Amino acid sequence: MNIVIVSVGKLKEKYLKQGIAEYVKRLGAYARISEVEIADEKAPETLSEADMEIVKKKEGERILAKIPADAHVIALAIEGKMKTSEQLAEDIEKLMTYGKSKIYFVIGGSLGLHDDVLRRSNEKLSFSPMTFPHQLMRLILVEQVYRAFRIMKGEPYHK
Ligand SMILES: C[S@@+](CC[C@H](N)C(=O)[O-])C[C@H]1O[C@@H](n2cnc3c(N)ncnc32)[C@H](O)[C@@H]1O
Pairing of strands 72-82, 123-126: parallel
pLDDT level of residue 104 (50, 70, 90 thresholds)? very high
Task: For ligand 1, pick from 37, 88, 131 the residue to mutate: most ligand atoms within 8 Å of CB.
Answer: 131
pLDDT score of 75 more than 80: yes
**What pLDDT is stored for residue 158 in this prediction?**
66
Predicted complex ipTM? 0.97
CA of 156 relative to ligand 1 center, distance in Å: 30
Q: Which CATH superfamily is domain 2-41+49-152 in?
A: SPOUT methyltransferase, trefoil knot domain (3.40.1280.10)
Cβ(144)–Cβ(26) below 8 Å? no
Structural domain spans, the chain: 2-41+49-152
